[in-house]
Amino acid sequence: MNVADWIPAISTTSLLAAVLWLLRSVISTRIRANVQHEFDQKVETLKTDLRKSEESFKADLRSKESKIEALRSGALSGLASRQAAIDARRIQAVDQLWAALQALGPAKSVSEILRF
């Protein structure tokens, strides 16, 4: 056997090896790109879902805050109205006492005379 007989076999084998190596690189690159693309799509879907849920939570929080504020203002206005009613009753009681004192003023001299 001669070296010249081996040249076509070696060249064919090396050419086939080079083509297989290139195909492996191309396939590997395509698979990586495909996987990365699917991953990016899933991440964007998750981000979108999280944004939607965040917005719904914010809206829910705003509605609950408005309800709490309404309850708080109602309680404070009720407290203020009760305090105003109590103050009005106190003023009325003072007025009644003063009117009674004024009405019984002439009897003061009689009570002083009877005290001795």
Query: pLDDT-based confidence at 40, cuts 50/70/90?
Result: very high
Q: Note the Cα 62 to chain centre separation in Å.
A: 8
Residue 54 counted as domain residue: yes
Residue 115 counted as domain residue: no
Between the alpha carbon of residue 60 and those of residues 27, 37, 55, 64, the distances in Å are 49, 34, 9, 6
Q: By residue range, what is the domain housing residue 42?
A: 3-105
Residue 116 counted as domain residue: no
Residue 110 counted as domain residue: no
Would the pLDDT of 11 be above 80? Answer: yes
Residue 25 counted as domain residue: yes
Residue 87 counted as domain residue: yes
Residue 32 counted as domain residue: yes
Query: pLDDT-based confidence at 109, cuts 50/70/90?
Result: confident
Global pTM reads 0.48
Structural domain count of the chain = 1
Residue 112 counted as domain residue: no
